[in-house]
Amino acid sequence: MAGNYKSGPGKGRFKKPAKIGRGTLEAVRTEGPHNEWLGMPPYYIHYLMMEGAEYNYLSADAALGIDLGKKITFRYKETQKGNIIEKRSLGIVIDPSELG
């Protein structure tokens, strides 16, 4: 079965689809490096501010690599810990009208 069907214990339940975030990157704050357990590589938590909302992005890189003022898009989940951006979903929006 295609889609968001989840098999295993509790069959028949559906995962909530990820939400889409899109807007202009206003501010970035980085914390880290963090180590959860022995053998895990260090990671950094980037807090992205966009249109008055804060989103968390975990990365192995100390620098986010996206300049302030750029239009970005990503998939995220709302959790008790905040809005968490899915791994490898953060990107810059390319507007064809601005190419030239």
Question: What's phi and psi for 23, nearest 5 deg?
Answer: 170, -165
Structure confidence by residue, pLDDT tens digits, 40-76: 889 999 999 999 999 999 999 999 999 999 999 999 9
- Report the 10 Å Cβ neighbour count for 22: 11
Q: How many whole angstroms separate alpha carbon 76 and alpha carbon 51?
A: 15
Residue 47 within a domain: yes
Please state the domain count of the chain. 1
State the Cα–Cα distance between residues 65 and 28, nearest whole angstrom. Answer: 11
Q: Is 43 exposed, middle or buried (0-12, 13-18, 19+ CB in 10 A)?
A: middle
Task: Identify whether 45 is part of a domain.
Answer: yes
Domain that holds residue 52: 37-93
- Whole-model pTM over 0.85: no
Distances (CA, A) of 36 to 40, 42, 58, 88: 7, 8, 13, 20
The answer to the question of residue 13 being in a domain is no
